[in-house]
Each structure stands twice: as structure tokens, then as C-alpha cells.
A and B are shown apart, each in its own frame.
Chain A
Amino acid sequence: MTAATGLGTVTGAGSVESARPVRTGSRGARGWRWAVLVVLGLYFVVPIAASVWFTVRDRGRGGLTARYYTGIPGAEGFADAFTRSVLLAVLTVLFSLLLMVPTVVLVNLRLPRLRTTVELLTLLPLVLPPIALVVGVRSVLAWAPDYFLNTPLAEAFFALQEPALPWILVLVYVVLALPFVYRALDAGLRGIDLRTLTEAARNLGASWPRVLVSVVLPVLRTSVLNAAFLTFALVMGEYTIAVILGFVPFPTWIVQSSGSQPQLSVSVSVLSLAITWGLLLLISALDRRRAGKDLA
């Protein structure tokens, strides 16, 4: 390692992300690195490439076709399931932000001693099998006909399970999104002296809601964007909870339609993966640009 790079890394010693954290080794080491990249790269690219080929090849006449992609919007049940998923996703994003932004800010400003508890609780959904959670939710929902029949509570339980817009899914998805939302927001606050900012705002006479809206949210905007996006994608791809509770959002529809139209389900899958990746790349680019601006 040369003196120049050595100096560079010393100045960057405390930073989370140094320019080249793992050093570039000898020629032999570089060989295995290439092997790893090529082999795993093939493993990750081949199924996607094969799926694309699977959906653009015209079996009847030979040649290429785009009809499995152009046919998506008109496919039976697609519009219903897709709009339902988008609606669920938007509601889940709003609910999680409403719940978690104040929580994260409070934990950071006022109640640091609750941090470990909150962290632990938000990490729980990451390891708790969703299928176990949903079995429990089903059992609770079954109380309505079993114990509470003809009470307002039972009516509320039934209203949550409206097939057109199942609110119960929103409520459970907020739980599933907790790890992503909490970590995204917490990471956003970590690099910022929130205490000074909020105290300045308070001294200037701003009320707490006003501080949240005009100071905290703008500071957190990339984190909020990140959290919102992760949650959105999570809901758009969630299958287990929906199918066990018997609802038909987008992923359940993909599986249902696969029997009759295999090409269609593959083309929808490819598109949804590609769109998710594209959006994630976009957000990471925005994130980087902002980081660059803040440094300058």
C-alpha cells in the first residue's frame, strides 16, 4: 500500500464508508475475486435473461413478440388486483410514517433509554415468520363470530376484512415494514444534530407539530423517501399474509393466473423486479447527490 492511499485512509478513519475498505490484494487474490464475480454474476443474471427470453419468444410463429407485455393491462383480474395492491401500499406507507416518524424523533430526542426496547421490537418482525404472525391474526379475527357476535367490535372486525380493500392487511403490513422504516429513519437521524435544530426552532417560537413538519421532515426527506419506497415495494410483493387471510392483491393474482398463462405471470414478474430495481437505483443516486451537496 502506497503512502498516498495510506494518508487518505487515515483522514477517513472515523467515517462509516471509507473509499476502499478492503484492500486490493496480490494478483492471486484478484484472480479469485474475478472468479467469484463471474460465477455469481452468471447465477444472478441467467434466470432473469432466460425469463426475458421466455416471454419475448413467439412459440406459435417463431420470432419475437411483445404481446405478453402489452397484454398485461388487459389481463383478467389484473386491474383490480394491481390497483388494490397500490392502494394498500400507499395506505401502509402513510400509516407507517405516521406511526414511526414521531416515535423515532422522540426516541432520539427525549427517551434515549427506550432505544434498545424500540429497536428490539422493530427488529422482531424481521425474524418472526410472517406465516406464524398471520395464523395468530386469523385466530384473533375469528373471535368476532365466536365471542363478539352482534357487538360493535364484531362489526369493526368484519369491516376490516372487506375484500375490496382489506384494511387488516394494511395494519399487518405496517408491522412487517417496521424494521425497514425504523432503520431507514434512524440512519437518517444519526448523522444530524437534531437536538440543536429542534431547540433552535423551539426558541424561535415554533410549536412541536410545526417543528416536526418544517424542521424534522425536511431534514429526513431522503430517509423518509427510502422508508416509503421500501414499504411500498414490500407491500407490492407480499404474498403469505394475503393468501392465508384469503385476499387477492397483486402477488396472489400472479400465482392464480400462472396456471392458465405461464408467459404472462413470468412477464409480470420480470417487470416488477425491473421496476423495483430501477426505483431503488434512482433513490440511491438521489441519496448520493444529496450527500455530495451537504459536504460541499
Chain B
Amino acid sequence: MVPFFLYVAVFLLLPVGVLAVEAFRATDPVAFTESWSTGSIRAITGGAYRRAYLGSLRLSLITAVLGAVLGLALAVAVLSARRGRLLRRLVLTASGVAANFGGIPLAFAFLATIGNAGVITALLQNTFGLGLGGFSLYSMAGLALVYLYFMIPLMVLTITPALEALRPQWREAADNLGASGWQYWRYVGGPVLAPPVIGATMLLFATAFAAYATAKALVGSSVPLVTLQIADALSSNVVVGSENLGKALALGMVVLIGVVMAFYAWVQRRTQRWLS
């Protein structure tokens, strides 16, 4: 067990701990001496950085809720399909690919589809004389559309075990007692599924919040997102102390995710009680 704990301590906990300490350091722009300071932390709560946090939170919230609803619908539809073995295997493996390994390839697939030179863009313009109706891939809405491409599969993957744990006998018992379909979902299926669905939505939120590759490949840094701001702060050689700003921004992300996860842990405890 020692190697495992040592490994996690050095390569997971140490970097995060260092982040928490060094976010409170500042480099003097003239003398290059270091000192303790809350300057970086104060800087990230205002101006462009505040906008970036809000942008990230808003995008994550919208895509998490949409992804959860659509993913749940897809999972139910696939699981309940008649003779759906093949369909199920195709959807689950495709979900595995899109949810975990999409990143950069997805961004390029969407660029080729509805980017400036995209196939669908050209089709709409040349054949029908229409544009995309003011929609731009290089915006918040465009990012949300691409994010959903990995969020919906992630929801399908996370929620499928919970759906499979819904015992058919519960439905039969409800039917025998004369419950309607709506009543079954309102009083039996819904309450049992609610904790895992909320948990999965949290996971979706965290994933969207942390996403960097897709956004970077699609929009560069023209959209206010905190991950893009961190990368900018780190790559900037012009401003002294921007490295510390990057650390402060990253620490902010960890804290926000921590709050979300505390809620998630509380939900999980309730889930265990239901499904064990």
C-alpha cells in the first residue's frame, strides 16, 4: 500500500498543496524578491478574471443540466429498446470514446461541420442561401453545442448502472396496485433515481468546468473562460507575477470544485442508502 499512498501524495496532493501556498506569494516587479501577499487572490475576484469565472460557471451549469436531461433521455431510450443489445453496445462504447477521449478531435470535427469553412455552413449558404442564422461556433453557444457532444455520453455512462438497478418488480408492483405510469415515476422511480441523477449532474458540471482542450482549439482565448485565462497567465512573459496569478486562478477552480463535490458527497451518501 505504501507505494500507492506515496505516489498519490507526491503527484496529486503535493502539487495541489503547493498551489494553495504559492497562490499567496508575490514577486516584486523591480527587485524580483518574493513575499507573502493576497494580491493575486484579490486580483482574481475582479475584472476580467471575475468575468472568466462567471463565464465558466454559467457554461458549466447550462451544459451540465442540458447534458443530464438529454443523456438521461438517451439512456432510458437505449435501455428500453426492444432487441436493443447491439444498439446498446454501440451507444455505450461510442459514449466511452466521446466522453473521455474526445477533446481535440471533437473540436476539429465541429470546425469541419459548422466552422467558417464547415461542410454544413457551406451547404446552408450555397444550397439554401441561408447562413447559420447568426449562430457562431466561436461563441459561448457554440462551445455549449460542442461540450454537449461529450457531456451527453458522459451522462449515459454514469447513469446507466443506476437505471439498470431499477428493479422491474417495483414497476410490476406499482402496476398491480393500479398506479399509472406517471404515478410510478412520481412516487417510485423518480425518488430512487434522483440522487444518482443529481450526482451525475455534478460530475458533468465538474467536467465542463475543467474542460480546456476543446475550448482552446475552438475559440483560442476570445471567450471568457477561467481555464483559458490560466493558460494565458502562465504563457505570458510580459507581466511579472502572472505566474502567481495563474496559481491563484487554479486555486480558485479547486475551491469551487471542492464546494460542488462536498454537495456531491452528501448526495452520494443518500444514494447508497437507497440502492444498497
* Residues of chain A whose beta carbon lies under 8 Å from any beta carbon of chain B: 1, 6, 9-10, 13, 16-18, 20-26, 29, 32-34, 36-37, 40, 43-44, 46-48, 50-51, 53-55, 99-100, 102-103, 106-107, 111, 114, 118, 121, 124-140, 171-172, 174-175, 178, 180, 230, 233-234, 236-240, 243-244, 251, 254-255, 258, 262, 265-266, 268-270, 272-273, 276-277, 280-281, 284-285, 288
Contacts and interface: CB of A to CB of B under 8 A. Distances in A.
B101 A131 contact: no
Interface string B94-124: 1011101111111011111100011110000
Given A21-B166, A132-B19, A269-B106, 5 more contacts: A9-B168, A133-B15, A238-B103, A244-B234, A277-B97
A250 to B, nearest CB: 9
B80 A240 contact: no
Q: Which of A132, A138, A178, A277 has the most CB of B within 10 A?
A: A132
Interface string B225-236: 001001100100
Interface stretch (B36-44, B47-55, B128-136, B253-261): B253-261
A276 B100 CA distance: 11
Contacts of A269: 104-106, 108-109
B178 to A, nearest CB: 15
A139 B108 contact: no
SS class, residues of chain A in contact with chain B: helix
Contacts of A172: 11
A50 B113 contact: yes
Q: Which of B15, B110, B165 has the most CB of A within 10 A?
A: B15
A23 B80 contact: yes
Nearest to A22: B80
A26 B181 contact: yes
Interface string B215-226: 011000000000
A127 B203 CA distance: 7
